[in-house]
């Protein structure tokens, strides 16, 4: 239920962003202006990731909050609400500025509404990989200590990858 709500939320977010900003900007502004704007956004996001890496800050982009652990609803409704909330790339804590690069791409008309599905696949794939670990007997182990260690490593790799992608996009927009 969480995954379905996450995919629906992220897909709808990027689709509405495309229709609300992407399409109007594509039709009313020249490609060069939109490309330069996207390049500046990529540079700013790269600078944000550099600052976060150097200072050791986690979650400095996006809203500084987490989804509440307890909600006054049934567990199944809570899971759906949690998925809907987490599927929005502008809520909760983000390890990298990369979701905002996707937002910038769609907002200036260089992205597509299906970026939400890519965002969901990346997030849910990482969560799935972190959540379960095959045991030697073919079963699944829910070792929370090992999961926390893998999460820390993945977060650090995500920051570095996000920074590299933001820099690459910025350089690409300047080279065109």
Specify the length of the chain in residues.
Answer: 176
pLDDT (average), residues 101-128: 83
What was the pLDDT predicted at 60? Answer: 47
In the block, tokens 């550099």 appear at: 50
**Helix orientation angle between 115-131 and 2-17, rounded to the nearest 10 degrees:** 150
Question: What is the total count of domains within the chain?
Answer: 1
Contacts 24+ apart (CB under 8 A), 87-91: 87/5, 87/6, 87/7, 87/8, 87/9, 87/10, 87/13, 87/120, 88/9, 88/10, 88/13, 89/10, 89/13, 89/62, 89/119, 90/13, 90/62, 90/63, 91/62, 91/63, 91/65, 91/67
Q: Which domain holds residue 115?
A: 2-175
What was the pLDDT predicted at 93? Answer: 64
114 Cβ neighbours under 8 A, 6+ residues apart:
11, 14
What was the pLDDT predicted at 46? Answer: 83
Better-predicted residue by pLDDT, 147 or 4: 4
pLDDT (average), residues 45-70: 67
Provide the whole-model pTM. Answer: 0.73
Give the tens place of pLDDT for each residue, 124-145. 877 776 666 555 444 455 556 6
Better-predicted residue by pLDDT, 65 or 56: 56
């Amino acid at each position: 239920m969480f995954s379905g709500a996450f995919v629906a939320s992220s897909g709808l977010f990027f689709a509405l962003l495309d229709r609300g900003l992407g399409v109007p900007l594509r039709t009313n502004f020249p490609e060069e202006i939109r490309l330069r704007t996207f390049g500046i956004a990529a540079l700013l996001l790269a600078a944000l990731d550099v600052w976060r890496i150097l200072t050791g800050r986690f979650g400095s982009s996006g809203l500084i909050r987490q989804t509440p652990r307890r909600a006054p609803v049934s567990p199944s409704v809570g899971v759906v609400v949690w998925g809907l909330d987490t599927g929005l790339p502008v809520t909760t804590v983000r390890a990298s500025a990369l979701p905002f690069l996707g937002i910038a791409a769609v907002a200036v008309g260089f992205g597509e509404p299906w970026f939400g599905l890519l965002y969901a696949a990346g997030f849910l794939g990482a969560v799935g990989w972190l959540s379960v670990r095959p045991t030697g007997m073919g079963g699944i182990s829910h070792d929370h200590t090992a999961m926390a260690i893998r999460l820390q490593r993945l977060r650090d790799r995500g920051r570095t990858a996000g920074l590299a992608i933001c820099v690459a996009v910025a350089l690409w927009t300047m080279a065109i």
